[in-house]
């Protein structure tokens, strides 16, 4: 009595058929006559789908049309959560077993429809039900020949092309020349009363001399085939800008750029800046050599405009002292702005001159 024993009757199993494999599953098959779904092995044995995705695909294929198969509806039917169901539906959509297109309803409204495919990539089977018979052909139309007797349109086109290349094109018949005094059109003979009266308005005589008038002079045409390059600017500013490519090859400027930037360099020279100072300011702090300067003219224009030094303050000029001169009377040195031969100091000018 120590070992637990069960009083339940063991279920009755069918006998294992002869020739069954020694291991693995053994199928006990039953022929279904109703309430069954045909599932292809491409789905049941899919190598990349998860078990949840395969199970949902089989369940969806067993449902009739019109049943909701959203993630929330399927989560209420199975034990798996909505996240697992949504992930399985995404797998089926990725491998083509499901499609959820947006269909316009009109008036700016859209709806998402779900399409389930039994075998992705195959043509859909025709709808079930009686197929309507095709309408009878009209009586006036002749019966078409059987498919084997129909001429191939491609062969007809090739024969037409071969005949067109073999036979030369027929020349059009010569047009009849109009008789003198006739315009070539067929006029019906009408009585004189019904004929239109001739136009009595004066007609301007055509210009028989289409050439240019003797007083007209041809306009000079610019030489567009060989345009003349602009003359490079001269002066210190032009020389400085042209020599920048010697300091750095990325600062090569065209003649138009040099002409446009020369006034800004002249402003630097007007503010007592030397050529070395301007060159050092324009070439200092350039990016590393592999990096290119896309617009050297704009780069230099920015530096010439934003780094312009202020003008120097005006220097007060002091009066220079008078030079030293020697007094003719006492031989002493004194300062005087009149260094003449008879320069005298203040003391000698105060004494009376001896007669």
- Do 72 and 101 belong together in one domain? yes
Say what the pLDDT of residue 355 is: 46
In whole angstroms, give the CA distance from residue 58 to residue 278.
82
In whole angstroms, give the CA distance from residue 295 to residue 261.
13
**pLDDT one-digit tens code per residue, 151-161:** 555 555 555 55
Q: How many helical (H) and strand (E) elements, i.e. helices and strands, does the chain have? A: 11, 6
Say what the pLDDT of residue 199 is: 53
Give the total number of structural domains in the chain. Answer: 3
Q: Where are the alpha helices (DSSP H) in the chain?
A: 41-44, 51-61, 71-77, 82-94, 153-166, 236-242, 244-247, 255-270, 275-283, 296-306, 346-350
Is residue 332 within 8 Å of 326, Cβ to Cβ? yes
**pLDDT one-digit tens code per residue, 132-182:** 555 565 555 555 555 555 555 555 555 555 555 555 555 555 665 555 544
Domain assignment of residue 94, given as a range: 41-116
DSSP string spanning 5-70? ---SPPPPPPPPPTT--SSS---------SS-----HHHHT-SSS-HHHHHHHHHHHTSPTT----
Over its C-alpha atoms, the chain yields an Rg (Å, rounded) of 56
Range name among 39-48, 191-200, 291-300 with the lowest pLDDT average: 191-200
In whole angstroms, give the CA distance from residue 329 to residue 70.
131
Whether residue 344 is contained in a domain is answered as yes
Domain's final residue, options 68, 97, 116: 116
Say what the pLDDT of residue 84 is: 94
The share of the chain scoring above pLDDT 70, in percent, equals 63
Could you tell me which residue, 28 or 127, shows the higher pLDDT? 28
Whether residue 109 is contained in a domain is answered as yes
Is residue 240 within 8 Å of 279, Cβ to Cβ? yes
- Range 104-113 average pLDDT: 88
Is residue 96 within 8 Å of 89, Cβ to Cβ? no
In this predicted structure, the answer to whether residue 18 has a pLDDT above a threshold of 90 is: no
Whether residue 137 is contained in a domain is answered as no
Domain's final residue, options 77, 94, 116: 116
- Range 97-110 average pLDDT: 89
Say what the pLDDT of residue 318 is: 73
């Amino acid at each position: 009595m120590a070992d637990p024993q069960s009083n339940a009757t063991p279920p009755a199993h069918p006998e294992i058929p002869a020739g069954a494999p020694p291991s693995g599953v053994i199928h006990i098959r039953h022929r279904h006559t109703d309430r069954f779904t045909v599932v292809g092995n491409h789905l049941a044995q899919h190598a990349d789908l998860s078990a949840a995705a395969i199970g949902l695909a089989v369940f969806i294929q067993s449902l009739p049309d019109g049943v909701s198969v959203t993630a929330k509806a399927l989560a209420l039917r199975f034990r798996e959560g909505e996240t697992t169901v949504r992930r399985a539906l995404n797998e089926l959509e990725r491998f083509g077993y499901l499609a959820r297109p947006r269909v316009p309803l009109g008036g700016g409204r859209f709806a998402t429809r779900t399409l389930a495919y039994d075998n992705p990539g195959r043509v859909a089977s025709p709808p079930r039900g009686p197929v309507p018979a095709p309408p009878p052909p009209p009586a006036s139309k002749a019966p078409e020949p059987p498919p084997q007797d129909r001429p191939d349109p491609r062969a007809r086109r090739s024969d037409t092309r071969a005949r067109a290349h073999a036979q030369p094109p027929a020349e059009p018949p010569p047009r009849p020349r109009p008789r003198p005094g006739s315009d070539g059109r067929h006029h019906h003979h009408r009585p004189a009363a019904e004929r239109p009266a001739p136009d009595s308005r004066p007609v301007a005589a055509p210009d028989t001399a289409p050439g240019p008038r003797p007083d007209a002079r041809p306009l000079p045409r610019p030489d567009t085939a060989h345009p003349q390059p602009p003359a490079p600017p001269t002066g210190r500013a032009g020389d400085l800008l042209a020599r920048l490519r010697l300091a750095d090859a990325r600062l090569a400027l065209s003649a138009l750029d040099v002409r446009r930037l020369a006034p800004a360099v002249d402003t630097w020279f007007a503010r007592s800046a030397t050529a070395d100072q301007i060159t050092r300011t324009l070439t200092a702090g350039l990016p590393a050599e592999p990096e290119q300067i896309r617009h050297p003219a704009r780069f230099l224009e920015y530096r010439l405009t934003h780094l312009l030094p202020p003008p120097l303050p005006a220097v007060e000029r002091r009066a220079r002292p008078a030079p030293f001169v020697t007094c003719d009377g006492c031989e002493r040195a004194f300062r005087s702005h009149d260094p003449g031969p008879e320069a005298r100091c203040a003391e000698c000018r105060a004494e009376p001159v001896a007669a």
